[in-house]
Amino acid sequence: MYLDRTYRPRRRNRGFSRYWPLVFIAILGIILYEEQPTWLIPKEVTPSPTPTRNAIYFQAEAETALRNGRYDEAFRAYERMSILEPDNPVPLIARSELYIIFRNVEQALLMAQRAVSVAPENADALVARARALNWNNDNDNAIIDALDALDLVPQHATALAVLGEIYSDEAQWDRAEDYLAQALALEPDNITALRNQAYYY
């Protein structure tokens, strides 16, 4: 058989079809660049937020410090509580009582007045101011605050105990004894009443 060595098979003309994978990749790249889908962008790793301490935490810390006689720590915790909740009378009342313990009457009265200003209908705030006024030798206004507290909470043992203290200072012994007896009948372990009873006798 004779072979024609000059024969060359005709190549198929692929034209555009041979380049379509490159075109597809280019189009896809443009789309991804323009759209920037979220799954393509690496997420920044953000650290989990550190939990902030709230007022209840500082109140518990202050009460624990008081039970253990760490008064400086209690002061600081109540101060932090006041910063977090400026309209809460509780830390102001507590600070007033602590200042009374350390015989800083001026600061005790200041804290008590702040407590009454943020919560004028709070019996504990009125009692705190009554005590501070009594220690400041202003017994007339102290009696008014203590009686106002009893109007709000008729069985407020500490208010009765403070009245007993005031009337003891005024040498009105019968009234003092009566108020202290009422306070201890309501709360036999009320510290203010027990201390004032010891002072009375």
pLDDT of residue 55: 80
Q: Please write the tens of the pLDDT for every residue from 148-177.
A: 999 999 999 999 999 999 999 999 999 999
pTM > 0.75: yes or no: no
* Conformational region of residue 41, where left means phi above 0, alpha means psi within -120 to 50, and beta covers everything else: beta
CATH architecture of 54-128: Alpha Horseshoe (1.25)
The phi, psi pair for 121, rounded to 5°, reads -100, 15
Handedness of CA 116, 119, 122, 124 (dihedral sign): negative
> What's the average model confidence in pLDDT over 73-96?
93
Asked if 114 contacts 108 with a C-beta cutoff of 8 angstroms, the reply is no
Q: What Rg, from alpha-carbon coordinates, does the chain have? A: 40
**Is the per-residue pLDDT at 82 higher than 70?**
yes
Domain range list for the chain = 54-128
Query: Burial level of 194, CB count in 10 A (0-12/13-18/19+)?
Result: middle
Q: Within 10 A of 104 (CB to CB), how many other CB atoms are there?
A: 15
- pLDDT, tens only, 102-148: 999 999 999 999 999 999 999 999 999 999 999 999 999 999 999 99
**For the chain, the helix, strand and coil percentages under 3-state DSSP, each to the nearest 5:** 70, 0, 30
